[in-house]
Every structure is written in C-alpha cells, then in structure tokens.
Amino acid sequence: MTAARPPIIWIAGALAVPLLVAIGFLAGAEPQFGIVAALAIVYGFIVVTDLSLALNLMVVTVFSDTTPLAGSVVSVTKIVGLLLAVGWLVRVATREEDRRSTLFTEHPVASYLLVLLVVWIGTSALWAQDVALTFDRASVFVLAAMLYVIVYTAVRTRRNAMALVGTFVLGTAFTAGYGLVLRPAADQSAERLASTIADPNLLGAILVAGLVLGGASLIAARGHRLLQLGAVIAIALCLGAFVLTGSRGGVVGLGAALIAALFFAGRWRLHVVLGATVIVTLAIGYYATLAPQSFLERFAGATSGEVSQRDTRLTIWTVAWRMSMDHPINGVGIGNFPVRSVDYTIRPGTTYRTDRVIDDPAVPHNSYLGPLAETGLVGFGLLMSIFVFSIASGVRAVRLFARAGDRAMEALSRGLVIALIGTLSSAFFISAEADKFIWLMLAMGPAFLGVASRAPEPEAAPRARQGQPLPSSAAGRPWASPS
C-alpha cells in the first residue's frame, strides 16, 4: 500500500503545475472564477488527505450556500460535493483500509437497498410523463445516496463523529443567527423567517435537529466550559429562530422530539425534562405575547373545522393519495407530481384549493405521500427501509457506547436518534425526502454504529457499571479523548 502512494503524488504534482498556470490566466481574466478554482484545488487536496475534515467543510458550505459569502456565479456546494465524491472514489480505489471499511462491505444489505432505491428512481423515467423532471429529481437522490456512503467512510473515529456533530450544530447556529440578524424591516416583521435555507418549514425542521443535537453536545462536552458555552449559544439562537419560522410542521417535529427524549434520554432524563420545560415555556410565552397575528392565524387554522378550505396541504395530500391509489406499485415517476396532479383534481371527494394544483402546481408537501405517489410502494418501501436502518443503527450505537462507558458518545448518539425522530416528524409537512441535511443526519446513524463497533471494549467499562469513576481520558475530558 505504501509503494502505491508515491506515483499518485507525482501524478497529482505533475497535473497541478499546468492547472495552477491555467488558474493564473483565469484569475487575470475573471478574478472570481480564479478564486473559486484556487479554493477548489485546496479543497481537493484536503479531500485526499483528510476526508473527515473535507466532509465538515462541506457541511459548512451547505449551510452558507445561499449567503453572499458563497458567491452568486457558481454553486459552491455543487463544486464541493463533486470534489468530495471524486476524492472518496480515489481513496477507496487506492487505499486498502478505506476499501475494507465502506458501507458496502460492512452493511451489504442496507447498501443493496440504497442502490435499489436509486436504480428504481432512475427507472421511473420509463413511465414518467416528463422525463426531464425525472432525471432532475433522480440526480438529487443520487447525490443524497453518495453523501450517505461517503459519511460512513469519513467518520471512522469518535473524534470524527464528535467533529461532525459539532459542525452540524455550528451550521444550525450560523443559519439561525444569520436569519435573526438579517430579518426583514420593521414593517415586514410578520414575514416568516427562512434564513439561508430559503424555506421556513424546512428551516423549522432543521432547527429542531439543531436544538436536540445542541443539547446533546452540551451534555457530551462536560468539563469543557468553552464548548458548553458554544452549545448554549447555539441552542439559544436555534430557539430564537425557530419561533420566528411560524412552522406548524416544526412545532410538530419539536413536540415529537421532546416526547421521544422523555423515553430515550436514559440517564439524562432529568436534564431533558428541565430543558424541555424551559423550551416549551419560552415558545408558549412568545406565541402568547409577541407573535404576529399571521402566526396565530396559521396555528388557529390548523385546528379549525374549515381547515380544508384554507389549507393548501390538505388538497395536495388528497391529490397525492388519489395518485398513489391509481399507480400503487410504480407511481407516476419521480418528480412528476406537479405535472400529473391536475389529472386527479376532478374525482369523488372535496378539494377546495385546486388553484394550487391547476394554476400553480406544487410539490406534495409530504416526504411520505410524495414518494408513495411518485415511486409507488416499491420506492416508498425502499426509502423507508433506509430511514428505519439509520434510526436502528443509532439505537444500536447508543447501546454499544453505554456498554463501553463512553458517556460523551452515548449522549451524542441518543441526541442523533431523537433529532432524527423530530426532523422526520416535521418531514410529514414538507417535501424533504431527498434533502441533504436530512440525509446527512441519516448517514450519521450507521457511521456512529461503525465507530461504536470498532472501538475496543475498555477496561474501565466494568468500573463504570459498578459506579466507580472512569479514567480522566474517558470521563474528565470526553471531547479530547484519543480515537
């Protein structure tokens, strides 16, 4: 393996020389493109040398993609994602250790299900009405599946896992703070907060994950005051931005996460009860005293008997259900809900908001009904199997870390499972089945399980079960423990 590395380095060096010359000419003609190209080369080098760091940098760019920091000429996220995928392929092809520990080798059944899902989605172009929409949507699923596989390879140690959770929490804090600082003018304060995500409902779902993982990080960083202070700030920012999204799906997701936390918090149940009490009190206080009238009307409309006349979602869900009943096995083709929905408005049953189906076709606004209507029972079943596998892997990781006495990783794994439950509950109100944030969290489940499985059983574990103190490397400084 050592003998194979020098040729790659020499080839990379030989290619770098003309590349740098080309970038020099490019920077002279168009400085912005030159800067992007130079940064791409630096990132490509990081991908080859440290895949975990490259993944964390990609997460940062994903959260800042729509800000002026990312530029407007090219999509930084797409460039970073492409380089990450290519770098992962190079590493797997040239490094035996990476090739032996991929998702395909350690979880073959789940890998085959993931591949089948992508193949089935692509195959749906055969019966789709609009093939261009199918290919466009299928490409998003391909990228999500690649991210799922890459995360498993990149997160090899507990340090990698902690860094990824910390980066995700930092990203949610950034997008929350960005939205809070750059809110609309005073006369537009009733507008719902969308921040860098550009969708208040999706932002609400992501902030639920930020709140939960921020709380888990606060527990896991015991003994590290600076990290705990950062977690507290992230929680405060996420909560402040969350209430401004006015997202009913976000509220449902937060409620589901708090309920799940009460049952799955383990030894930290008291902490969860106190934290949940504070969050619920602050949220209720805001909506009762400071929330704009439009927010109150949204929540009141959700419980009104005439909600079907005002809420677009119920009309769209009715159409999606009719579509799934008409094509139960294969669906209408991925991405084809907007172009086929008009065919299902004139059916038995009341549909009030047909304007959103006829004049302005919308997505299904449901991460479960949407795949059922577009990919049928086959695609829906494959997608749900990935969801279940990811959550089950997180639960198994919790048990292994608890058995090993690794409280920091146990807290983070519990937080991940709870965050997934909350976010996937919010996904019932949005079309986010291929969203990169959700797939990143899903990928953490098997990645954490891999870290827990590879970690040797420490000698300190029996003492931890008997209530004796752990060594400082495992208890006093959990974030600084060696991998």
Angle, helix 200-220 to helix 248-264, in steps of 10 degrees: 20
Tokens of 24: 């020099």
* Dihedral (Cα; 23, 25, 31, 37), 10-degree rounding: -10
Checking if the pLDDT of 82 tops 80, the result is yes
pLDDT at residue 83, as a whole number: 86
Tokens of 180: 């809070």
> For residue 308, what is the enclosing H or E element?
helix 307-310
Tokens of 147: 């991210």
The most confident of the ranges 14-28, 37-51, 264-278, 391-405 is 391-405
Q: Within a 13 Å sphere around the CA of 37, how many CA atoms are in the beta-carbon half?
A: 17
Mean pLDDT of 274-301: 78
Tokens of 111: 């890998």
Residue 214's pLDDT band (boundaries 50, 70, 90)? very high
Lowest mean pLDDT among 187-196, 319-328, 414-423, 439-448: 187-196
Give me Rg for the CA atoms of the chain: 24
> For residue 231, what is the enclosing H or E element?
helix 225-245
Residue type, 355: D
Dihedral sign of CA atoms 280, 399, 427, 59 in order: positive
Tokens of 265: 């918090």
Tokens of 403: 């058995």
> For residue 357, what is the enclosing H or E element?
helix 355-358
Cα distances from 287 to residues 120, 304, 442, in angstroms, run 44, 18, 31
- Cα 166 from chain centre: 14
CA pair distance 370, 110, nearest whole angstrom: 22
CA pair distance 169, 236, nearest whole angstrom: 12
Checking if the pLDDT of 300 tops 90, the result is no
Q: Which residues contact 40 (CB under 8 A, 6 or more apart)?
A: 79, 83
- Residue whose C-alpha is closest to residue 427's, from 445, 441, 414: 441
Determine contact, residues 340/323, Cβ cutoff 8 Å. Answer: yes
pLDDT at residue 284, as a whole number: 83
Tokens of 97: 């250790």
Cα distances from 84 to residues 77, 98, 371, in angstroms, run 10, 15, 27
pLDDT at residue 14, as a whole number: 54
> For residue 325, what is the enclosing H or E element?
helix 312-326
pLDDT at residue 465, as a whole number: 46
pLDDT at residue 353, as a whole number: 52
pLDDT in tens, 383-411: 999 999 999 999 999 999 999 999 999 99
Q: Return the DSSP state at 475.
A: I
pLDDT at residue 20, as a whole number: 53
* Dihedral (Cα; 291, 297, 299, 300), 10-degree rounding: 130
CA pair distance 40, 449, nearest whole angstrom: 32
Whole-model pTM: value is 0.84
Residue 198's pLDDT band (boundaries 50, 70, 90)? confident
Top pLDDT among 263 and 189 is at 263
Checking if the pLDDT of 298 tops 90, the result is no
Checking if the pLDDT of 65 tops 60, the result is yes
pLDDT at residue 78, as a whole number: 77
Tokens of 296: 């109150």
Tokens of 39: 């940064």
Determine contact, residues 395/448, Cβ cutoff 8 Å. Answer: no
- Residue whose C-alpha is closest to residue 36's, from 80, 92, 93, 101: 80
pLDDT at residue 114, as a whole number: 96
Tokens of 477: 């400084």
- Cα 1 from chain centre: 35
pLDDT in tens, 92-149: 888 877 777 889 999 999 999 999 999 999 999 999 999 999 999 999 999 999 999 9
pLDDT at residue 80, as a whole number: 84
Tokens of 428: 């019932």
Angle, helix 158-181 to helix 51-63, in steps of 10 degrees: 20
How far from each other are the two terminal CA atoms of the chain, in whole angstroms? 23
Alpha-helix runs per DSSP H in 30-107? 31-49, 51-63, 76-94, 96-100, 103-106
* Dihedral (Cα; 84, 89, 93, 94), 10-degree rounding: -10
- Quote helix, strand, coil % in the chain, to nearest 5: 80, 0, 20
Mean pLDDT of 351-370: 69
Checking if the pLDDT of 452 tops 90, the result is yes
Tokens of 50: 């440290």
> For residue 215, what is the enclosing H or E element?
helix 200-220
